[in-house]
Each structure stands twice: as C-alpha cells, then as structure tokens.
Amino acid sequence: MGDRPNPTETGPRNPILVALDVPTGEDAARLARELSPHVGGFKVGLELLTGPGPAVIGVIGRLEKPVFADAKLHDIPNTVRAAARHLGEAGARWVTAHAAGGRSMLEAAVEGLREGAGSRAAGILAITVLTSLDQDSLAATGVAATPGKLAAVRARLAGEAGCEGVITSVRELGVIVDVAPRLLRVTPGIRPVGVDTHDQVRAATPVEAMERGAHYLVIGRAITGAPEPGRAALDILSGLDLA
C-alpha cells in the first residue's frame, strides 16, 4: 500500500478526512460533532472559509481532530504567506496551496503557516492537478503535459519547497510515490462503489486509493449526504485494510 509516514507524526490512524462542504458554521459544527468518533479529521473548504470564515477552523478543532483548510492559495508570495499565517493562527493542521504558483510561493506558504501555527504541527499540502481536470481540460488552458507528468513535476517542486504533502488524484498516486515518496499523500475524489462521482472526473473508491498508496482520503457527500453519516463513515472504514 505504499510507504506511509508514522501515524504518530501525521495524525490519527483513521485515514478519513470528511469534507464539510456545508453553507453554515452551525451545520459544520453539528456534522463534525456527530462524526468525530468515526473519522480521522475534517476538511474546511472555500464555502466555509468565505462564508462563516476561518474562525470555524477553531470551532471544529476543539474536537481534537486535525482540520485541513482547503484554501487553495494561489497568489504572489507575500500575499500567500500572510494568508497561510492567518490560517495557522486559526488552528489549521494543514493548508492547501496550488503547486502551479511556483516554488517561491510554496516556500512563502510554508513559512507563513509555520509562523501562524507557532509550536503546533502544521504543514502545507500542495495541490498537483485538480481532480475535476483531465488531459483535454488541461490542454484547453495551454498545458500540454498529461495529468501524470504534471503531477510528478509539481510533487518534486512541493518537496523542494518544504511542503508536508500533496493533494493528488488516485490515478497519479503511483508517480507521486516514485518521485516524492516522503510526502504525505492526500487523495480527494473518493467515492464508494455505487456513489455518484458528481464533478470529480478522476474519482476512485476508498479501497483503490489506499491500495495505491494514499495516506488520507477526503470524502464528502458519500458521508455527509447519507441518512446516517456516522454509519456511512464506519461502513467505509470497515472496508479498508488498515493492518
């Protein structure tokens, strides 16, 4: 299943990070309280970060599970450094930044988050290629490389910049393991068998992702949209070989 970092260094052994893609802080806090016993952590995305705001990170963080701020930072280095610092101050364990922003920007993100987090563990996760993009979509933006080749280049860049890990599709996990084996691998676009992939072009099942070397799985609607979210999380967890 790939070389995994020591769980005592990277967080709970449970690999599920629940995407709290809901409109209000109250909804997010309610779901987080319900799911906290059954998952490894939570993702706070742009909907919450631009709605209720970064304070929701601290609210959810009181449950003593890591909170992953999916801010998708991509700007000039000074701006990214300041934004990462604020998210670190808010309590984020991980913050995402687009590797497409370049090494200087990623280094600024790493520095800013470290400043904001102080003595707490915190790291930048570099986004390689969005799971909503395929080769045709990349070509339409002027990028000739395949998703795999682009992910490899950006993973190397992330490692050189001091990022803790990468956000990568399951399809690119193999190349990430090859070119940057020490980076934490966080995989979105996870859909259990029978669940609609929605806007994720390069989706995969939880089992497939873990077998290919993922350390953490970002799962949203398959859990949060279920009649019993806690039961849905447990069902997914029970299907994984975590030995």
Q: How far lies 20's CA from each of 14, 25, 69, 143, 230, in Å?
A: 17, 10, 11, 31, 14
Whole-number Å distance between alpha carbons of 41 and 211: 20
H or E element that contains 160: helix 147-161
Q: Classify 155 as helix, strand or coil.
A: helix
HSE toward the beta carbon, residue 137, CA cutoff 13 A: 10
How many angstroms separate the CA atoms of 64 and 20, rounded?
A: 16
Can you spell out the DSSP letters for 78-137? HHHHHHHHHHHHHT-SEEEEEGGG-HHHHHHHHHHHHHHHTTS--EEEEE-S-TT--HHH
- Find where tokens 């970064």 sit: 54
- Three-state DSSP at 164 gives coil
Half-sphere exposure of 120 (CA within 13 A, CB side): 20
From the list 43, 65, 72, 149, the catalytic residue is 72
Amino acid at 76: I
Query: Which residue in 31, 33, 34 sits closest to 45, CA to CA?
Result: 31
Does the annotation count 65 as an active-site position? no
Active site residues: 72
